[in-house]
């Protein structure tokens, strides 16, 4: 088995549920920080150096901040291809993380977008998870254990202010060009802390100008078997869909048609570079 496949399997095993769902409801509010950090390490099977533990406990104001910081460190390690603590990862997170900007809670919907893709010749539901960490030097990069082609995504300027971490569950789709609209919205959500009111499925590829392309896979039967959702889809695909009480259809032509239906999470903050996110024609 290739190293990339081993990492993917191990990553899926460890992150198949958000850390918050692995904890008991009362723990975040009622357990002291030292005990809570120990719980985070136990449920994630990711243990950090004692001196690093002391730093987190001292600098995080509450357990919400502690969980968020721990998740960033955990995600950094996984995106670097390992599942154990390294001081290099710790120093990177500490350097680029602004604890004053952390929120008292963390909305698990932020940066999480669903789509459909082809895996081993079968249509599968794909969850895209994205985390955006602000940086100061305007040299932001995209990190993903799987190879990504992002030159055609309309995200040129704004990502230079962030390091973007991307993961796919169960893995990146094989049908290139038919799901990148969802990836773009995941990045948008992570940067601007915006979410949808309802569970949503974003279908189709995307052009440099932000136009949503039609999807060329047999998705109708798959959608009919899903829980109630709203579907963002190119109008050309919509012609083949039958109306159903299980989903609502939102016809879209460009990315603005999708982002206009998102709302700010209660955890969100303002950004001044909103318009730059949708302008892209050059290589990142």
- What is the end-to-end Cα distance of the chain in Å, rounded? 32
Tokens representing residue 229 in the block? 């959702």
Query: How much of the chain is helix, strand and coil, in % rounded to 5?
Result: 40, 20, 45
Predicted confidence at residue 257, as pLDDT, reads: 93
Residue for token pair 């985070």: 40
Q: Which residues of the chain have pLDDT under 70?
A: 1, 3-4, 7-8, 10-21, 25, 97-108, 137, 218-228, 237-247, 266-284
Residue for token pair 């982002």: 259
Predicted confidence at residue 31, as pLDDT, reads: 86
pTM above 0.85, yes or no: no
Other beta carbons within 10 angstroms of residue 248's beta carbon come to 13
Residue for token pair 């879209």: 252
Burial class (CB in 10 A: 0-12, 13-18, 19+), 243: exposed
Residue 220 makes CB contacts below 8 A (sequence gap 6+) with 240, 241, 242
Q: By C-alpha distance, which of 175, 174, 178, 238 is closest to 204?
A: 178
**Angle at which helices 63-79 and 87-96 cross, to 10°:** 120
Question: Rounded distance, CA 187 to CA 259, Å?
Answer: 12
Are 244 and 230 a contacting pair, CB within 8 Å? no
């Amino acid at each position: 088995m290739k190293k990339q496949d081993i990492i993917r399997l191990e990553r899926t095993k460890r992150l198949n549920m958000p850390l918050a769902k692995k904890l008991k409801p009362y723990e975040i509010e009622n357990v002291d920080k030292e005990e809570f950090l120990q719980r985070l390490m136990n449920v994630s099977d990711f243990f950090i150096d004692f001196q690093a533990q002391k730093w987190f406990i001292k600098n995080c104001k509450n357990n919400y901040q502690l969980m968020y910081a721990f998740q960033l460190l955990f995600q950094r390690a996984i995106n670097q291809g390992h599942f154990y603590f390294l001081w290099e990862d710790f120093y990177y997170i500490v350097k680029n993380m602004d604890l004053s900007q952390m929120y008292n809670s963390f909305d698990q919907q932020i940066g999480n977008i669903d789509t459909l893709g082809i895996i081993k010749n079968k249509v599968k539901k794909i969850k895209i998870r994205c985390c955006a960490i602000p940086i100061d030097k305007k040299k932001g990069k995209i990190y993903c254990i799987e190879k990504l082609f992002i030159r055609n995504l309309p995200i040129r300027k704004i990502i230079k202010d962030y390091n973007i971490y991307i993961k796919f569950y169960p893995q990146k789709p094989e049908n290139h060009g038919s799901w990148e609209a969802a990836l773009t919205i995941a990045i948008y959500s992570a940067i601007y802390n915006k979410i949808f009111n309802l569970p949503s499925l974003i279908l189709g590829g995307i052009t440099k100008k932000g136009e949503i392309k039609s999807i060329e896979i047999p998705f109708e039967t798959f959608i009919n078997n899903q829980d109630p959702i709203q579907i963002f889809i190119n109008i050309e695909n919509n012609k083949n869909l039958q109306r159903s009480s299980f989903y609502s259809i939102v016809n879209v032509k460009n990315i603005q048609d999708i982002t206009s239906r998102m709302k700010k999470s209660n955890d969100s903050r303002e950004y001044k570079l909103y318009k730059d996110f949708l302008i892209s024609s050059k290589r990142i």
